[in-house]
Amino acid sequence: MGRWTRLVVSALLIGLPVSLAGLSYEFGVKKGVTRSQTAAETQASEDARERAEALADMAVEAERRLESMTLLLAELQSRVTRLDAVGMNLTASAGLEAGEFNFDRAPALGGPLMAPDEDARELIPALEGELFALSTALDDREVQLDILSELIQGEQVKSDATPSGRPILSGWASSRYGTRIDPFSGKKAWHEGVDFAGREGADIVAVASGVVSWSGQRYGYGKMVEVAHGDGVITRYAHNQENLVKVGDMVRRGDVVALMGNSGRSTGPHVHFEVHKNGRPVDPASYLRRTPN
């Protein structure tokens, strides 16, 4: 072999393995780096997905809390409005000085108006503050009503405000207080009042003097009138065809407060009559047997 031939052969024998080794190393390192980068990117993507899911769950929970708090706020506002109406009427009827009881102050009204892209979680602290303020106002109204009730409760007023007699002028008792067979389910159920059946459109009368604390639709009761008589006693007249009084009205014993009907969960024209004492239903029988003064 000539000198040039030996040089070429030597270069091939030495250079080719070195080149192959270099290429193998370069491709191996790059492939390892690529795999490492891919794994890191995959982990980062998984972490981001988990964070997004956690944030979405938090947003849903915030929306649920906000909806619940908004409903509670609306209920408290309604209670304050009814109490104000009752208090203003009582204050006027008792002839007390203007401003002695602050029932003419407008109750706190409102609620969040959330834009489509607004985070519900940001509204919760403000709404909680609104609920606290409204709850405080409600407590204040109730204290004022208790004091006012004591001021106007003379002996004659107390006598007039004690339920006695039947809530109808004509008709008959169709269902008693206590356990009975439910007319819809056919099963035993508790009945919190006494039913008096009669002619549709017949007069329903207040069994005692008091202030109307509810007049409107109520679930299960249909159209219902509720009268507060003081000393923790209220009476209810339900399933009416029409209510003839509104919240805040003063009624006397014997005043017509509604017309007999068949609204709500009812099988025919009648009035469902309830008596509550300190927030609990009691058997109206003892009141029904009393003779009005």
Domain boundary among 124, 159, 194: 159
C-beta contacts of 153-157 below 8 A and 24+ residues apart: 153/230, 153/231, 157/209, 157/230
For residue 232, give both structure tokens: 């923790």
For 121-149, letters b (16+ CB in 10 Å) and e give eebeeebeebbeebbebbeebeebbeebb
Does 34 map to a domain?
no
Query: Helix (H, G, I), strand (E, B), or coil: what is residue 7?
Result: helix
**Does residue 125 sit in the same domain as residue 202?**
no
Count: domains in the chain: 2
At 113 the pLDDT is: 47
**Does residue 142 sit in the same domain as residue 253?**
no
**Does residue 184 sit in the same domain as residue 196?**
yes
Report pTM. Answer: 0.50
Does 293 map to a domain?
no
At 58 the pLDDT is: 75
At 74 the pLDDT is: 73
Question: Which residues lie closer than 8 Å to 285 by C-beta, 6 or more apart?
Answer: 176, 177, 194
**Does residue 231 sit in the same domain as residue 253?**
yes
At 274 the pLDDT is: 96
At 114 the pLDDT is: 47
Element (H, E) at 264: none
At 104 the pLDDT is: 54
**Does residue 71 sit in the same domain as residue 120?**
yes
Domain boundary among 136, 159, 182: 159
User: Could you tell me the CATH number of the domain that includes residue 242?
Assistant: 2.70.70.10
Q: Is 265 exposed, middle or buried (0-12, 13-18, 19+ CB in 10 A)?
A: middle
**Does residue 240 sit in the same domain as residue 150?**
no
d(CA 85, CA 246): 10
Backbone angles phi, psi at 80, to 5 degrees: -65, -40
**Does residue 265 sit in the same domain as residue 167?**
yes
Q: Which of 152, 75, 147, 142 is nearest to 279 (CA)?
A: 142
Does 8 map to a domain?
no
Domain housing 122: 55-159
Element (H, E) at 128: helix 120-151
**Does residue 175 sit in the same domain as residue 244?**
yes
**Does residue 206 sit in the same domain as residue 216?**
yes
Domain boundary among 128, 159, 190: 159
**Does residue 232 sit in the same domain as residue 272?**
yes
At 269 the pLDDT is: 93
d(CA 37, CA 5): 47
Per-10-residue mean pLDDT, the chain, length 293: 59 58 58 64 77 76 74 71 68 58 51 49 67 70 66 61 90 88 82 92 94 92 93 93 94 94 91 93 90 66
